[in-house]
Amino acid sequence: MLTCDKNRMNEKVKTFSTFGATGNGGITRLSLSPAALAARAEFCKRCKALGMTVKSDDMANLYATIPGEGDLPALVMGSHMDSVVQGGNYDGILGVLTALEAAETIVTKKLPHRHPITVVVWTNEEGARFDPAMMSSGVITGKFKKEDMLKSRDSEGVTFGEALDASGYKGSESDRLDFNKTLGLLELHIEQGPVLEAEEKDIGVVEGVVGMVNYEFTMRGQADHAGTTPMNYRKDALLAACDVIKYLHTELDTLDKKLVYTTGRIICSPNVHTIIPDDVRFTLDARHQDPDVIKQVVKIIENVPKEMDKCSVSYQELWSRKTVAYNKAMVSIVEEKTNALGYSNMRMYSGPGHDAQYLADVVPTTMVFVPSVDGHSHCEIEYTPIEKCWQGANVLLNTALEMDQHDSF
């Protein structure tokens, strides 16, 4: 089997870890920040050195392409380069660097291929500087309106539009990815969870993105003085919230074991140690690959008692996302090539969102996961050993070359 160069892969990870380095092992590389622009410059320099042509579209998405034979559709691989504040050296950037390493292997080994091969960098995936996340893949696939996105402001008042103009990477709309001229899209990403490590698998063969619902519950009670209000007069909204959370756990735990649900945010008001809380809100995030299980979750939410501990209980849906299924033929190629490389693997669904999920609506798409040590992500200790990074690049390389044999997916 063909493989990439492990030392060169390691050098890529190490070099790109310097752009926005925090000094504590991680990076802060917010979208279109000086650190992110430095990373882009290095990416473009390396692509041009490999003889690739580099274009950027009106959202500053970068496309670096090795030409193929004739006018065939392009095989596209990549991810994003921006990070959250005090993020790690793997989320996003590893998908770019493994794609670049696969392309570099194809170029330097002069591996024959029919289709153009494009390494893509999506702008502002994290949404950490400019809300929302997956902004630019969202714009070109019609999920967001570009004019709204240009007005999105960072914490210092700079709009995305202003940052785009100043970046030097704003290209034209006509240079956006041409969906009709795309053979397929591959995104490698770190798992951002503990499953691959716990199951001792090298590679996650991603079948899709789980559907999710996100609700906010509100408990309304009565604010009274902690020292003067006998227990039987109280309407304690925090006690009610605890009971609703416990109720949800009890009910949701009866559903399919692959369901994940999280009460991650709780806001208590007035939140003073000497006052009984009168307004407590918490969120419930629930995800599963099977829409029927999500329907069961919604049923449980609808059946939550409307009164708990003498407090009213209400809820509202904040947002939801349908299950995204990746291209079955491409998923099978990833699995075959991973097996052929001798890497242990498992099929799985992605919990988090990725640019690939938006692209999946318009071009044949799939993803490859590599393990996250201890499941950590979006933090400075986020880590994937170089061996696993290299294995991921090898899966991309061999999958791309196999895809190149096909005319369409």
Residues that bind a copy of itself (CB under 8 A): 191-195, 198, 210, 212, 214, 223-231, 233, 236, 238-239, 241-243, 245-246, 249, 253, 257-268, 271-277, 282-283, 285, 287, 318, 350-352, 375-379
- Give the span between the Cα atoms of 135 and 62, in whole angstroms: 14
Closest distance between a copy of itself and the C-beta of residue 287, in Å? 5
**Paired sense of beta strands 307-308 and 311-321, if any:** antiparallel
Closest distance between a copy of itself and the C-beta of residue 138, in Å? 17
Is the CB of residue 61 less than 8 Å from the CB of residue 178? no
Nearer CB in complex with a copy of itself: 43/261:
261
Nearer CB in complex with a copy of itself: 243/336:
243
Nearer CB in complex with a copy of itself: 62/300:
300
Q: Pull the structure tokens for residue 133.
A: 């996340």
Nearer CB in complex with a copy of itself: 46/388:
388
* Of 61, 65, 11, 32, residue with least CA distance to 182: 65
Q: Which residues contact 189 (CB under 8 A, 6 or more apart)?
A: 79, 91, 92, 94, 95, 350, 354, 367, 368, 369, 370
Closest distance between a copy of itself and the C-beta of residue 267, in Å? 8
User: 249 by DSSP, 3-state: which?
Assistant: helix
Closest distance between a copy of itself and the C-beta of residue 292, in Å? 19
- Give the span between the Cα atoms of 371 and 198, in whole angstroms: 9
Q: How many CA atoms lie within 13 A of 376 on its CB side?
A: 14
Nearer CB in complex with a copy of itself: 50/266:
266
Closest distance between a copy of itself and the C-beta of residue 104, in Å? 30
Is the CB of residue 379 less than 8 Å from the CB of residue 238? no
Nearer CB in complex with a copy of itself: 259/395:
259
Closest distance between a copy of itself and the C-beta of residue 319, in Å? 10
Nearer CB in complex with a copy of itself: 38/275:
275
Q: What are phi and psi of 357, to 5 degrees?
A: -70, -30
Ordered alpha helix ranges (H), 54-116: 93-108
Closest distance between a copy of itself and the C-beta of residue 35, in Å? 22
